[in-house]
Structure 1
Amino acid sequence: MYHYTAIVTCLAIAFYFFTSATVARARRTFGVKLPAISGHPDFERIFRVQMNTLEWMPIFLPSLWLFAIYISDAIAAVLGVIWIIGRIVYFIGYRQAVEKRGPGFGIQALVCIVLWCGALGAAGWKVIH
C-alpha cells in the first residue's frame, strides 16, 4: 500500500484548496469581481500562484504516484513534501514580488523532474528486465 503517498497527495490538494480560498479573499480585498482575473497587481500575483499550482498538479501527481509504485512510497512522500514546501516558498515569494518567485519555483520543478525521471527510468528498467 502507498499510505505515505496518499497522505502527501491529500496535503497537496489541501494546499491547492488554500490557494483557491486565498484568491477568493483577495477578490474581496482588492475589489476584483467575477469573472475578472485582472485588476489590482497584488490580486493578480495571488491569482497566478493558484493557477501555477493548478498547472503543475497534472505534472506532479502522476509523477509522484508512479515514483511511489515503481521505486518507493516513502521516498515519493518525502519528495512530495519537498514539492509542497517549494510551493509554499513560491506562494510567499510571489505574494511579495514577481521577482521573488524563483526559489520556490525551482524547488518544486526540480522535485517534479526527479519524480518523473525516476518513474520513467524505473518503468523502463522493468520493461527491459
Structure 2
Amino acid sequence: MLLSDKGEFAGRLGGMHLHRDSPFTGHCFEIAADAVRERIYHLNQYGLFAWTATGVRAQRLDLEDKRYKLLKHFKLVDCTPAGELVLVHRTQHLMLRIPCPASLGDLDHTVEDALRSYAKERTFLKRQWRPVNWHWTDSTAPLHRL
C-alpha cells in the first residue's frame, strides 16, 4: 500500500506475480523511493522492479537474464537525493550506486552498464588491496566510487 506524505492512501504496487515475484523468497522486503523523479524501486531474488508514484509498474529487469544476474547478490538499501540506487553486496562488503535514468525505459541499459563497471572495479580493488575473505582489512585503503 502506498501512502501520501499526509498518510492518505495513494495506491498499491502493482504488476508483481504473487508467487513468481514474491519478496518472501530471500526475505527481500526493502523498497527505495526516488522522491525527485517520483519512482519506487524494489529488488528481490527475481527482478529489479520500478514503479511510478501511483504504483503502476513501469519496468521489471528479470534476474534470470545473464546481464542482470549479478543483482541477486545485492541488497537494495536506498535511493539518494541525487537519484542513485544504493545497493550493497551481501558478501563482498562493497557498495554499488546506480544512477536512475531520466526515462525508466533506459533502466535496463543503465543497470547493465553499472554492473559491468562494478565487475571491472571490483577486480581492480581485489588485486590492489587483497581482501581476506572479502573483508577489506587495510585501513589505509582510500574510498573508491564504483
Q: TM-score range, shorter-chain basis?
A: 0.3 to 0.5
State the TM-score, normalizing by the size of structure 1: 0.33
State the TM-score, normalizing by the size of structure 2: 0.31
> Comparing both structures, which one devotes a greater share of its residues to helix?
1
> Comparing both structures, which one devotes a greater share of its residues to strand?
2
